[in-house]
Chain A
Amino acid sequence: MGGIVLIDPKQEADLIYRRLSALFTAQWHCQYRIDVVNDHYGQTFNFFMDIKRQHHRERSIPLHTLRTTDLVTLERVITELRQQTQLSLNFVSFGRTRWPLSQRWIH
């Protein structure tokens, strides 16, 4: 029995922001990026913090998982998140799709 899971975009974005703030130490020669992965197998959207320091191993740290496949929900979470952080977002495995609300390309 799946049932409808209510996802509050603000709450989810806050949680993601809290976790990423702890990881974002703003070092020199270091790229920070949020990966948003469309996980077809798990039927979830996964968030990771990707940290790339020049000449060092890349790190990818899980931030959160949204247990839904609904793009509208994801779009709302992303909109909330964008208001809190300027870090670049990298969308993985979405193909050529538009956001359902804004009708912009997902990239």
Chain B
Amino acid sequence: MDYRHEPHGLFFMIDNKSFYASVESVARQLNPLRSVIVVMSEADNTGSGLVLAASPMAKKLFGISNVSRQYEVPDDPRILVVPPRMNLYIQENLKINKIFREYVADNDLFPYSIDESILDMTKSCRLFGKTPEEVARRIQLRIRHEMGLYTTVGIGENPVQAKLALDLQAKHDHELIGRLTYESFPEAIWPITDLTSVWSIGRRTAAHLNRLGIHSMRELAMVDPYELQAEMGLIGAQLFALAWGIDRSQLHQLRPAKEKSWSNSQVLPRDYRSQQEIEVVIREIGLQVTARMRHHHQQAGCVSLGIGFARAGEAEDGRSGFHHSCRIEPTDNAQLIAATLLRLFRQHWEGQAIRNISVGVSRLNRSQGLQLDIFQDPQRQLKNERFDRVIDELRDRFGKTAVIPASSLLPGGTMLSRAALVGGHNGGNSFD
């Protein structure tokens, strides 16, 4: 492979070791690598409880992994269970990124998730040390001293190499640093046979590759890229590039998504069977999505509804749920969108118990005034429009729960209990 024309930069991908659990350890002045802490969410919809994070020791001693259920965690007095505080983790993440900004220009820092950031060190690395490893060590120590947290650093010549160095090498390295280059890539990555351990390859993609006779990264690298693309589409070409450690993305020129859309989904706290209860929640999510869209002064030309059946519902007819969309006259009117969603629901629901609801709006365009409908009372239409605006303003000024539909107080409504959650989990004590 001729790498001369590929981008040769220097990228750090830095992640926090068991971030939530580590933050909670530090808040109790425990060592994050030695404490046995499990962060467990007990929000309504997680059933008995869901493990959001487990400290390295909890993983090692008890085999607890993230997303374990409460009943899978042994009832052992050595384990310390703590509730999540999402707002605290966001604050800590901001502090960490502030430290990163001392090592790269603002434009060269790309937060990737709540505990991972990509640093483009191409220009600034030499200011802070002789080798990339030395600079990585320096950043690690700085965060350890100032915040008590351990970080893991993957180093690569492009972002994907940095990510793979992080996932596959740094996490098992004594110093918590891993490095990949175009040169070392084949030796380090090709022997991998568990394809799902490689970033961007999920269970289904791995199964697809296995069907094509590809069982290792070496076999993926040796395949004919054109054949792979013919079989898998664009993803095929991307996977081939991945196998050779090639990543041509230019992080500075982030492309806006071609077709933007807004969507929200939620897992219900229990199986919902009654039509009335389900419709309350569909309406709530519909209003929420519409409000987000209106904030961006957009109208939707397409509404979609996804329903996931409860396990009990699945058994009845084999399907695990349904997803349908429907084109509408562009609108940002919450009542219209909610009515469309309810129509879709009534058309396709056959009484199954459900556990999961998602609502999306797409085919967006800018709201430019109101297109009056000739078949409806114009005064009524104008009034509806003004009504939505007033509700939006009230919520902006006084919070999400300042005005709620009375239907949210009916059995089944989830809006009130979810208003205080961050990313679906407890945000922490509100007046800390």
Chain A residues engaging chain B, CB cutoff 8 angstroms: 15, 19, 35, 37-42, 46, 48, 52, 54-65, 92-93
A37→B29 contact, CB < 8 A: yes
What CA separation (Å) do A65 and B430 show in the bound complex? 11
**Closest Cβ of chain A: how far from B343's Cβ, in Å?**
44
Interface residues on B, range: 20 to 34
Please determine whether B75 and A56 come into contact, CB atoms closer than 8 angstroms: yes
Closest to B431 in A: A15
Is B225 close to A, CB under 8 A? no
Complex CA distance for A19 and B431, rounded to whole angstroms? 12
Q: Tell me, in angstroms, the Cα distance from A63 to B27 when the chains sit together.
A: 12
Interface residue from A38, A42, A57, A64 paired with B81 (Cβ < 8 Å)? A57
In angstroms, Cα B81 to Cα A38, docked, is: 20
- Report yes or no: A35 in contact with B28, Cβ–Cβ below 8 A: yes
Complex partner residue of A55 from B28, B77, B83, CB under 8 angstroms: B77
Within 8 A of A (CB), among B130-173: 146-148
Given contacts A52-B77, A57-B75, contact A40 B428 (CB under 8 A): no
Whole-angstrom distance between the alpha carbons of A38 and B148 in the complex? 13
Q: How far is the CB of B241 from chain A (nearest CB, A)?
A: 41
Knowing A37-B28, A41-B147, A46-B27, say if A62 contacts B77 (CB, 8 Å): no
Q: Which chain A positions have C-beta within 8 A of B85?
A: 62
From A19, A37, A42, A58, B77 is in contact (CB under 8 Å) with: A58
Q: Is the CB of A55 within 8 A of B432?
A: no
Q: Name the one of B28, B77, B428, B432 contacting A92, with C-beta atoms under 8 angstroms.
A: B28
- Chain B residues, CB < 8 A from A57: 38, 73, 75-77, 79-81
Query: A19-B429, A41-B147, A41-B148 known; A61 and B83 CB under 8 Å?
Result: yes
26 pairs of residues in contact across A and B, judged by CB atoms under 8 Å: A37-B28, A37-B29, A39-B29, A40-B29, A40-B148, A41-B148, A52-B77, A56-B75, A56-B77, A57-B73, A57-B75, A57-B79, A57-B81, A58-B78, A58-B80, A59-B80, A59-B82, A60-B28, A61-B82, A62-B27, A62-B82, A62-B83, A62-B85, A64-B429, A92-B28, A93-B29
